[in-house]
Structure 1
Amino acid sequence: MVRTIDVVACLGDNYAYLLRDADSGGAVVIDAPEAAPILAAVEAAGCRLDAVLLTHHHGDHIEGAAEIRKRTGAQLVGAAADAHRLPPLDLMVADGEEAAIGGFRFRVMATPGHTRGHVVYHAPEASALFSGDTLFSLGCGRLFEGSAAEMWDSLLRLAALPPETAVCPGHEYTAANGRFARSVDPDNPALAERIAEVERLRAAGRPTVPVALGTELMTNPFLRAGDPAIAARLGLAGRPAVEVFAELRRLKDDFR
């Protein structure tokens, strides 16, 4: 099967993703920040939208879901644990389940931290991870409901996926994340190279994602909290990685 991921810009800095199977004409959308650009992308692609997969309940990820469902008949899919905060779901999923939707196979992974009910979707055949607001390029989500320990555990699960996995996050935050990353990891040549790439992409008006997980493992400080150099720079030499992660998240919250 030939599978294509279209990045759909929504709102100010959100992304939805249209995952298409060229052979069957089927497609799914991950997250629904607003209906109009997603419906336009579906129409332009000439595909059949089978489902909308929701990562979490925040309005900038679900506001277009009801209209898309009404216009296309697509199923709404989301976490059973968060169903009370999501639009009415046609299919409820839970951690560890595999969902076969529209010709695609998704592995559901619970990733508490940003919110308690957050899930991400790993599509092995497409070699893609739809990470919502858990993992960004060069960053991670704020801890609105979960603890640092929960988010660190969630990130470790994602870090264990194959390095060629394309990370598809919910926002275009990479340039701002890069400025923070450079402040805590200034001697990392892979990070410097990634920041330069991001600057070129944004200057050309292009998205900075998807990005290979392997690149994130070399450049994203939140995935590298176990690196002794980062711990030492934060004055936490010898401390557990989860403590380094918590300090990174605290510093990022106040970074300007």
Structure 2
Amino acid sequence: MARLEIHQFPCLNDNYGYLVHEPSSGMTAAIDTPEVAPILAALANKGWRLTHILNTHHHFDHAGGNAELKEKTGCMVIGPKGEKDKIPAIDRAVGEGDVVELGAARARVIDVPGHTAGHVAYSFDEERIAFVGDTLFALGCGRLFEGTPAQMWTSLGKLMALPDDTIVYCAHEYTQSNARFALSVEPQNKTLVARAKEIDEKRARGEWTVPTTIGLEKATNPFLRAASADLRQTLGLAAASDVDVFAETRKRKDNF
């Protein structure tokens, strides 16, 4: 198992930037490029050289810095096959089952459409680390800008299948507002109630709520909990399909 060092830092208003460093090779990947200056500052601070960009999807706050960073560093830009025409400066297009090597570490590409049509996630399976972009958030999931509820539910199912101790790095600090919504649809979930209190305390101290874990999300994130009797009761969908429960949850969040 490779020893990866993850460096997390804020970008824009509520994005996170991530650098993934593999020490034996010296290779370093940026997960998405929300803002160039903080990424360059983080590289300088750590003394790392950028060798790769791993894009999860085409939105500007995820791929907008590609061209400038490639020009400044000569890095390789890797992004989703389904959006290769929308990913600036792309060198390699990847999809389900492809592997991205970062020195001794290997990231498995997972197709997770829904937020966008070609969205991918990168799972370092041996290290139990996953970068999920805007598909899964702490206590939330991405809006369905280009996909259907059925697509997104399938995508979330792929992430739920990862081991519970997988550390999940999502792209935004949305957790406190997500918690308020989660409590509105599953108020009897004691684990969620406790987590929401902890989140409020963390944010009051100015602390981050990301990363999270697959296990914690399965226990508290309403978008992963279509089987919950309490959630179904709140939604009035006791006998509905999981996809319909997810779709109604997403609809309510959009209007929350």
Query: Which bin holds the TM-score, normalised by the shorter protein?
Result: over 0.9
Deviation string 1:96-145 (CA, Å, 9 cap, x unpaired) is 11121344311101111111011111112331111101000000000111
Structure 2 matches for 1:105-144, cutoff 5 A? Answer: 105-144=106-145
Structure 2 matches for 1:97-108, cutoff 5 A? Answer: 97-108=98-109
162-171 or 15-24: bigger deviation: 15-24
Q: Give the superposition deviation at 1:91.
A: 1.3
Root-mean-square deviation (CA), in Å? Answer: 1.2
Corresponding residue for residue 148 of structure 2: 147
193-202 or 109-118: bigger deviation: 193-202
Corresponding residue for residue 244 of structure 1: 245
Q: Give the superposition deviation at 1:9.
A: 0.8
Q: TM-score, normalised by structure 1?
A: 0.96
Deviation string 1:46-71 (CA, Å, 9 cap, x unpaired) is 12221010011111111111111111
2:23 is the alignment partner of 1:19: no
Corresponding residue for residue 3 of structure 2: 2
Q: Give the superposition deviation at 1:12.
A: 0.4
82-91 or 173-182: bigger deviation: 82-91
Deviation string 1:128-168 (CA, Å, 9 cap, x unpaired) is 11110100000000011100000000001100000011111
Shift in CA distance, 125/42, structure 1 to aligned 2, threshold 3 Å: farther
Structure 2 matches for 1:135-214, cutoff 5 A? Answer: 135-214=136-215
> Equivalent pairs: percent with the same residue?
48
Q: Give the superposition deviation at 1:94.
A: 1.2
Corresponding residue for residue 54 of structure 2: 53
Consecutive unaligned residues in structure 1, runs of 5 or more: none
Q: Is the 8 A contact 1:33 1:60 kept in 2?
A: yes
Output the amino acid matched with 1:110: D
- Matched position secondary structure for 1:130: strand
Shift in CA distance, 103/70, structure 1 to aligned 2, threshold 3 Å: farther
Query: Which aligned segments of 4 or more residues in structure 1 are displaced greater than 3 angstroms?
Result: none
85-94 or 31-40: bigger deviation: 85-94
Consecutive unaligned residues in structure 2, runs of 5 or more: none
Q: Is the 8 A contact 2:82 2:119 kept in 1?
A: no
Distance in 1 (CA, whole Å) between partners of 2:66 and 2:203 is 28
Output the amino acid matched with 2:181: F
Q: Is the 8 A contact 1:136 1:171 kept in 2?
A: yes
Q: Is the 8 A contact 1:32 1:64 kept in 2?
A: yes
Shift in CA distance, 102/51, structure 1 to aligned 2, threshold 3 Å: farther
Q: Give the superposition deviation at 1:204.
A: 2.1
Q: Is the 8 A contact 2:24 2:103 kept in 1?
A: no
Output the amino acid matched with 1:176: S
| Number of aligned positions between the proteins | 255
Q: Is the 8 A contact 1:50 1:73 kept in 2?
A: yes
Q: Is the 8 A contact 2:67 2:88 kept in 1?
A: yes
2:85 is the alignment partner of 1:95: no
Distance in 1 (CA, whole Å) between partners of 2:160 and 2:52 is 27
Q: Give the superposition deviation at 1:191.
A: 0.7
Distance in 2 (CA, whole Å) between partners of 1:67 and 1:123 is 27
Deviation string 1:11-47 (CA, Å, 9 cap, x unpaired) is 0001121112234332111010110001111111112
Distance in 2 (CA, whole Å) between partners of 1:19 and 1:190 is 31
Corresponding residue for residue 71 of structure 2: 70
- Matched position secondary structure for 1:237: coil
Q: Is the 8 A contact 1:163 1:212 kept in 2?
A: yes
Q: Is the 8 A contact 1:226 1:240 kept in 2?
A: no
2:115 is the alignment partner of 1:79: no
